[in-house]
Chains A and B, each alone.
Chain A
Amino acid sequence: MSTSSNERSSPAALELIDVVKQYPGHPPVRALDSVSLRIDRGELVAIVGPSGSGKSTMLHVMGTLDRPTSGRVEIDGIELSQLSDRRLAAARARLIGFVFQQFFLLEGVTAVENVANGLLYSGASKSKRLGRAVTALSRVGLSHRLHHRPSALSGGERQRVAIARALVHDPAIILADEPTGNLDSTSSASVMELLFDLHREGRTIVVITHDRDMAAALPRQVAVRDGQLVVPDAALVGGGVR
Chain B
Amino acid sequence: MSRQRKKPAAVSSPAPEESRRAGGRNLPPSRLGPLAVVGVASDGLRGRKLRTALSALGITIGIAAMVGVLGLSESSRADLQAQIAALGTNLLTVEPSSGFGGGDGALPAETAAKIGRIGPVDLVADTVTLDEAPRRNDLVSENETKGVTVVAADIDLLDTLKASVADGVWLDEATSAYQNVVLGSVAADRYGVTGLDDGAQLRIGDEWFTIIGVLDEFPLSEDLDRSVFIGKDAAASTFDVELNPSTIFVRTDPDQIDAVRGVLSSTADPESPDEVSISRPSDALEAQAAADNAFTALFLGLGAVALLVGGIGIANVMVIAVIERRNEIGLRRALGATRAHIRRQFLTEALLLSAIGGAAGVGLGVAVTYLYANYEGWTVVIPNVAIFGGFGAAIAIGAVAGLYPATRAARLAPTEALRA
A-side residues, CB < 8 A to B, are 10-11, 40-42, 60, 63, 65-66, 76-78, 85-87, 89-96, 98, 100-102, 104, 106-109, 113, 117-118, 120-123, 126, 132, 135-136, 138-139, 165, 167-168, 170, 200-203
Cβ contact within 8 Å between A106 and B328: yes
Query: What are 5 A-B contacts with C-beta separation under 8 Å?
Result: A42-B6, A98-B334, A104-B418, A108-B47, A202-B6
Residues of B in contact with A (beta carbons under 8 Å apart):
1, 3-8, 11-14, 16-17, 20-21, 24-25, 27-33, 35-36, 39-40, 43-44, 46-48, 327-328, 330-341, 413-415, 418, 420
List of A residues within 8 angstroms of B5 by Cβ:
41-42, 201-203
Contact of A120 among B17, B36, B414 (CB under 8 A): B36
Contact A89 B6 (CB under 8 A): no
B31 touches A135 (CB 8 A): no
CB neighbours of B21 from chain A (8 A) = 76
Instruction: Assess whether B31 is in contact with A102, with CB atoms less than 8 Å apart.
Output: no
- How far, in angstroms, from A65 to B414 measured CA to CA in the complex? 6
- Which residue of chain A lies nearest to B419 when distances are taken between CB atoms in the complex? A56
Given contacts A63-B334, A102-B420, A121-B30, contact A108 B12 (CB under 8 A): no
Taking a contact as CB atoms closer than 8 A, the residue among B4, B12, B341 that contacts A139 in the complex is: B12
Q: Measured between alpha carbons, how far is A191 from B418 in the docked complex, in Å?
A: 21
Known interface pairs A42-B6, A66-B415, A135-B13; A86-B328 also in contact (CB < 8 Å): no
Apart from A40-B4, A104-B418, what are 5 other A-B pairs with CB-CB below 8 Å?
Answer: A65-B334, A66-B413, A89-B30, A135-B13, A202-B6
Shortest beta-carbon distance from B411 to chain A in Å: 11
Question: A87–B7 Cα gap in the complex (Å)?
Answer: 30
- Do A76 and B24 have beta carbons less than 8 Å apart? yes
A-B pairs, 3 with minimum CB distance: A93-B336, A202-B5, A108-B47
Most buried by A among B7, B27, B418: B27
Cβ A41 vs Cβ B4 within 8 A: yes
Q: Which residues of B contact A167 (CB under 8 A)?
A: 13
CA distance A107 to B48 in the complex (A): 10
Contact of A126 among B13, B24, B35, B47 (CB under 8 A): B35
CB distance from A94 to the nearest CB of B (A): 6
Compute how far the CA of A86 lies from the CA of B28 in the bound complex, rounded to whole angstroms.
Answer: 10
Q: How many A-B residue pairs have CB under 8 A?
A: 157
* Residue on B nearest A177 in the bound complex, by CB: B418
Shortest distance between the CB of B100 and any CB in chain A (Å): 79
Q: Min CB distance, A31 to chain B, in Å?
A: 11
Decide if A90 touches B27 in the complex (CB within 8 Å): yes
Q: How far is it, in angstroms, between the C-alpha of A77 and the C-alpha of B23 when the chains are bound? A: 11
Return chain A residues, CB-CB under 8 Å to B46: 108-109
> Which chain B positions have C-beta within 8 A of A41?
3-5
Given the known inter-chain contacts A65-B414, A102-B327, A108-B47, please indicate yes or no for A89 contacting B4, CB distance below 8 A.
no
Q: Which residues of A contact B25 (CB under 8 A)?
A: 77-78
For B48, the chain A residues whose CB sits under 8 A away are 108
Give A89 to B333 CA distance when docked, in angstroms: 7
Q: Given the complex of chains A and B, what is the CA–CA distance between A78 and B28 in angstroms?
A: 13
A104→B43 contact, CB < 8 A: no
Contact between A87 and B333 (Cβ–Cβ < 8 Å)?
no
What are the residues of chain B within 8 A of A91 when measuring CB–CB?
Answer: 27, 336
Whether B28 lies near A106 (C-beta < 8 A) is no
Q: Report yes or no: A86 in contact with B29, Cβ–Cβ below 8 A.
A: yes
Our pick among A100, A165, A170 for the contact of B13 (Cβ within 8 Å) is A170
Nearest neighbor of B417 in chain A, beta-carbon distance: A65
- Given known pairs A42-B4, A120-B36, the reply for A90 and B24 (CB within 8 Å) is no
Contact (Cβ within 8 A) A123 B13: no
In the complex, A139→B415 CA distance in Å? 29
Closest Cβ of chain B to A159, distance in Å, is 14
Which of B24, B47, B335 is within 8 Å of A107, CB to CB? B47
Q: Complex Cα distance A170/B333, Å?
A: 17
Collect the chain A residues with CB atoms within 8 Å of residue B28's CB.
90, 94, 122-123
- Give the residues in chain B near A165, CB-CB below 8 Å: 335
Known contacts: A76-B24, A135-B13, A201-B7. The answer to whether A108 contacts B44 by CB under 8 A is yes
Bound complex: CA A100 to CA B418 (Å) = 9
Partner of A94, one of B3, B7, B27, B340: B27
Closest to A10 in B: B1
Please tell me if the beta carbons of A87 and B29 are within 8 angstroms of each other in the complex.
yes
| B414 with A66: CB separation less than 8 A | yes
- B398 to chain A: closest CB distance in Å? 20
Shortest Cβ distance from A107 into chain B, in angstroms?
6
Q: A93 and B44 in contact (CB under 8 A), knowing A65-B415, A132-B14, A170-B14?
A: no
Give B25's nearest chain A residue, CB to CB: A78
Distance in angstroms between the alpha carbons of A93 and B328 in the assembled complex: 15
What CA separation (Å) do A138 and B27 show in the bound complex?
28
B residues in contact with A117, CB < 8 Å: 332, 335
CA distance A108 to B51 in the complex (A): 13
Residues of A within 8 A of B330 (CB): 65, 104
